[in-house]
Homo-oligomer: A and B are copies of this chain.
């Protein structure tokens, strides 16, 4: 493990502690149905690296804020991510029975409960953001706008729709990037931007630089995901290895070859870091996160 990767792992660890406690608190408020609440807790609190919350908190740091000033958006983005995984795993979608080494939500509960748990988590994300303690009214509203755009038909859900339509098709590199920019990129971008928006003063050129960082990192994340699907073992990545290939989903290695995909990844990492040049050591957590994303093994 390099110095930088270790810094990211430490940072992720401290974020996870902070974020998990807040997620635990906000799903602990009496739901109308115990079973629904159990399913929500199972899906959100059952592990996960918390990469998006960490990016959100790291972006707040880069803007000179204390990490916990962006706790509400960090948790909101994780709730959206968690709901999307539940719905993605459904039989009508990817039909996955295993996630993070545990039965997926519709297996552990049932399909109807899984659909509802996902729906409730999305509402909770927006509620958490709107009530975001420690943030002024304007920031909270800007974050709701940001998250709604990133999560909806012009963002994440739009990307999932493109993904469904792409199974078994040959995509060009541009089409593949469009899919990922929506499917995973939009939420990663929102994580970083919402973190930045927690600062009292946000300079638009700083926001632009962080947005570039997030966009490039989002693509890098996906390239590494594709590589892990080929190189990783089921045991480490928590889902059957080679599952994308088995479904003939378009991937970077399929388009660029293994070496080409690795080189593309290295270039993206360089670009992501270059976009942070204007920032001093306050952006070190973001730099470490970039290293982590390309070096991670699951």
Contacts and interface: CB of A to CB of B under 8 A. Distances in A.
Q: Is the interface of A mostly helix, strand, loop or mixed?
A: helix
Interface string A99-143: 000000000001111011011101110110111000001101100
A246 interface: no
B32 A154 contact: yes
Interface stretch (A46-54, A65-73, A156-164, A200-208): A156-164
A37 interface: yes
B92 A33 contact: no
Interface stretch (A7-15, A144-152, A211-219): A144-152
A126 to B, nearest CB: 4
A164 to B, nearest CB: 5
A259 interface: no
Nearest to A118: B119
A165 interface: yes
A160 B154 CA distance: 28
A282 to B, nearest CB: 29
How many copies of this chain does one complex carry? Answer: 2
A28 to B, nearest CB: 11
Nearest to A30: B154
A147 B111 CA distance: 25
A110 B92 CA distance: 9
B115 A162 contact: no
Interface residues of A, number: 56
A295 interface: no
**Best-buried of A137, A147, A157, A165 by chain B (most CB within 10 Å):** A157
Contact of A126 (B126, B154, B165): B126
A119 B165 contact: no
Contact of A37 (B33, B118, B153): B153
Given A37-B153, A141-B141, A32 B161 contact: yes
Nearest to A138: B137
A131 B87 CA distance: 27
Given A115-B87, A124-B153, A33 B158 contact: yes
A60 interface: no
A35 interface: yes
A161 B123 CA distance: 15
A157 B116 contact: yes
A93 interface: yes
Q: Top 7 closest A-B pairs, CB basis?
A: A32-B158, A127-B148, A123-B152, A33-B161, A92-B111, A36-B161, A120-B153
15 contacts: A29-B154, A32-B161, A36-B158, A90-B92, A92-B112, A93-B112, A113-B164, A116-B161, A118-B119, A119-B122, A123-B148, A123-B151, A123-B152, A130-B148, A137-B138
